[in-house]
Amino acid sequence: MSRLNLTRLRQMKAEQNKIAMLTAYDASFSHVLEQAGVDVILVGDSLGMVIQGQESTLPVTVDDIIYHCRNVVRGSEKVFVIADMPFMSYANEGQAIANAARLMAEGGAQMVKLEGGAVMASTVEQLTARGIPVCAHLGLLPQSVHRVGGYRVQGRDAETAEQLILDAITLQDAGADMLVLECVPAVLTAKVTKALTIPVIGIGAGSICDGQVLVLYDMLGLTPGKRPRFSYDFLADTGTIQSAISKYVADVKSGEFPTLEQQF
């Protein structure tokens, strides 16, 4: 059994071979995603909203992520698996190391993801120095929803856009091996992707980046309420879960997703 690894993901960026990533939280979906050609599964703290029915991602615990990550790992053989670090599970470096170690050792994740800009650089350094690969997350940070006052597009003005580029470079220099960029204008994503050597995965961030990620239940039209503008109901077009996921993979790889309608 050999899973996709960071070397191959970096090669994919260099070869302009787009990375197809989705969230998943259980073994059955993990298997379906792998069969459909998904490269990376994120066990996102979005599970708080789509699995647990919470109003935000904030109540999700490290134990929750470990439980779901184990199931995702059991259901797959080849995909690269990333585990989200929940709200306040990396509030200081000691906590970050202890909790990331649990996500890797107990959850079976190959990488952890954490939200935040340059302020997280020393945490990223501490984790990577201990052999824990880190995916940074910039743009809209759902764990800061109460501070920013809602789920809004970030980096629209020149100053915040410039700060985001500097944050991305700082996090890469600190050792981050991947970046998720959420809800930012497509032109900003293109600049960040050009500035970095690590893969940049967009969600609501346009098409000029190294790959795409969506919340699985959003792209299957299962999440109650209004679907985010940047997502798309692939199940409505295709009729089966398997073909919906396959279509997503094909559209990400060909650059057909996202269209202009799903970008800012």
* 31, burial (CB in 10 Å: exposed 0-12, middle 13-18, buried 19+): middle
> Could you tell me if 79 and 35 are in contact, meaning their C-beta atoms sit under 8 angstroms apart?
no
Chosen residue from 84, 167, 177, 210 binding ligand KIV by CB under 6 A: 84
Of 40-48, 121-129, 167-175, 224-232, the segment contacting ligand KIV by CB under 6 A is 40-48
Catalytic positions are: 182
Minimum CB–partner distance for residue 160 and ligand KIV (Å): 19
Residue type, 229: R
Of 42-50, 88-96, 184-192, 251-259, the segment contacting ligand KIV by CB under 6 A is 42-50
Encoded one letter per residue, x for contact with ligand KIV by CB under 6 A and - for no contact, window 172-211 reads --------x-x--------------------x--------
Minimum CB–partner distance for residue 70 and ligand KIV (Å): 17
Report the b/e string of 38-60 with b at 16+ CB within 10 A.
bbbbbbbbbbbbbeeeeebbbeb
Minimum CB–partner distance for residue 145 and ligand KIV (Å): 12
**Does 23 contact ligand KIV by CB under 6 A?**
yes
Of 28-36, 41-49, 167-175, 241-249, the segment contacting ligand KIV by CB under 6 A is 41-49
Q: Considering only CA atoms, which of 9, 22, 7, 38 is closest in space to residue 249?
A: 38
Give me the DSSP letters along 214-247. Answer: E-HHHHTT-SSSPPPTT---HHHHHSSHHHHHHH
Looking at the Cβ atoms of 225 and 239, the one nearer to ligand KIV is: 225
